[in-house]
Amino acid sequence: MTGRDRLRELLDAVLDEEHRSLDDMAEGAYSSPFHFARQLSAGAGEPPVAMRRRVMLERAAWQLGQGSSVTDAAFEAGYESVDGFARAFSRAYGHPPSERSDGDHWLPAPNGIHFHPPMSLWVHTGENTMSQPLDLMVHHDLDDTRYVIDLAKQLSDDDYRRELRARLRGWEGEEASVAAALTSLVFTKEVWLAAILGEDFPEGRPDDVASLVRRHDDVAPRWLEMVRDVERRGAWDDRIVDALCDPPESFVLGSIVAHVLTYDAHRRLGVRAMLTELGVDADEGDPINWLRRQTETTA
């Protein structure tokens, strides 16, 4: 049996409708979960659970474009709830599944392997994988921001707004409370997105955790779609004139994204120190462990 045939068997096991977990896939390929994951990762450059999730989302996007309902697409993709599917779809595509898109249903892949209708794989040899680290960094930033906002729900309103020893140096000055740092994480994206897309300046800063959740969940998929649009167009060196500044300033698109990722990482780690000071446990915020968690679950 050739290596090519074995890889085909592994891919078939990933896509089998009955295989919803790593154990199911491995059993279908007559392998242990450890060896199955190692072989597929070596042959395709992508963990099996992550590949299945991505390809199933690609299929769901194609089905939605053919007129399928969100509910049908969600359950056929293996999700236990429509809400879970909608969150995963929005993170991946930058817009909710209820919003019709005329764009390509393929997602960024490290191997050029994609869903091809009605239910097969297409290996795109010209796939540009250079953006994969950036895609992971942007996803981690958005997911981790939501994580630390959710942790802040454990705080009283006084603790949420209290000035602490663990202070952060932000773009506009010192951020001395959990409220100030988290607000900047969300509001900064809103402001930059408005400048890039030519929208009005955002109305007011979110004042409580509930408002932060709503506004983060609104801006996150729009921010992701903007970054991916810049990548698709190869527009990283393009400049915008930000009329929201007084006086207007010129910024390079690539530097804006780098700026946001840099300050967001600083804020998220700083918020963890603040939360620890206030008695709330948090993880370490390592993107390596975040990615491992993404590849260990299917929803």
CA distances from 96 to 42, 99, 205 (A): 33, 6, 24
Residue 4: pLDDT over 50: no
169 pairs with which residues across the strands?
Answer: 174
Strand intervals (E) in 144-270: 168-170, 173-175, 239-242, 249-252
**Does residue 62 contact residue 107 with C-beta atoms inside 8 Å?**
no
pTM to 2 decimal places: 0.61
Q: Report the mean per-residue pLDDT for the chain.
A: 83
Q: How crowded is the C-beta side of 12, counted as CA atoms within 13 Å?
A: 10
Q: Which residue has the higher pLDDT, 279 or 4?
A: 279
- Structure tokens that stand for 2 in this block: 């050739």
Q: What is the pLDDT of residue 32?
A: 86
Query: Per residue in 236-251, pLDDT tens?
Result: 999 887 766 667 778 8
Check pLDDT > 50 for residue 64: yes
How does residue 122 score in pLDDT terms, banded at 50, 70 and 90?
Answer: low
User: Tell me: the pLDDT tens digits for 21-32?
Assistant: 888 888 888 888
- What pLDDT is recorded for position 121? 62
Query: Rounded to whole angstroms, how far apart are CA atoms 100 and 115?
Result: 19
Amino acid identity, residue 192? Answer: W
Q: What is the pLDDT of residue 183?
A: 94
Task: Write down the domain spans for the chain.
Answer: 3-123, 132-296
Over range 36-55, report the average pLDDT: 83
Q: How far apart are CA 38 and CA 35, in angstroms?
A: 5
Angle at 39 between CA 34 and CA 43, to 5 degrees: 150
| Residue given tokens 């045939």 in the structure block | 5
pLDDT higher for 1 or 186? 186
Tell me what the mean pLDDT of segment 62-78 comes to. 90
Residues in the chain: 299
pLDDT of residue 168: 72
pLDDT on residue 295? 60
Average pLDDT of the segment spanning 284-294: 83
The two structure tokens encoding residue 23: 């154990």
Least confident of 61-75, 246-260, 267-281, 284-298: 284-298
Residue indicated by tokens 């474009």: 65
Look at residue 102 and tell me whether its pLDDT is greater than 70: no
- Provide the pLDDT for residue 160: 95
How confident is residue 235, by pLDDT bands cut at 50, 70 and 90? confident
For 3-123, the fitting CATH number among 3.40.50.720, 1.10.10.60, 1.10.540.10, 3.30.70.980 is 1.10.10.60
Residue among 162, 188, 173, 142 at smallest CA distance from 280: 162
Omega within 30 of 0 (cis) for the link into 247: yes
CA dist 75 → 19, 82, 83, 100, 299 (Å): 14, 8, 11, 19, 11
pLDDT at 117 over 80: no
Half-sphere exposure of 47 (CA within 13 A, CB side): 15
pLDDT of 173: 66
Residue 13: its pLDDT value, please?
Answer: 82
Are 3-123 and 132-296 in the same CATH fold? no
Rounded CA gap, 114 and 93, in Å?
15
122 DSSP β-pair partners: 114
Position 167 scores a pLDDT of 66
Name the phi and psi angles at 239, rounded to 5. Answer: -110, 150
Residue 62, SS3 per DSSP? helix
Please report which confidence band the pLDDT of residue 130 belongs to, taking 50, 70 and 90 as the band edges: very low
**Rounded Cα distance, 60 and 68, in Å:** 9
pLDDT higher than 90, residue 139: no
Mean pLDDT over residues 85-105, rounded? 83
Of 68, 141, 142, nearest to 105 by C-alpha is 68
- Is residue 129 pLDDT above 50, yes or no? no
pLDDT over 50 at 2, yes or no? no
Alpha helical stretches, state H, 68-107: 70-76, 82-93
| CATH class, range 132-296 | mainly alpha
What is the reported pLDDT for 185?
93
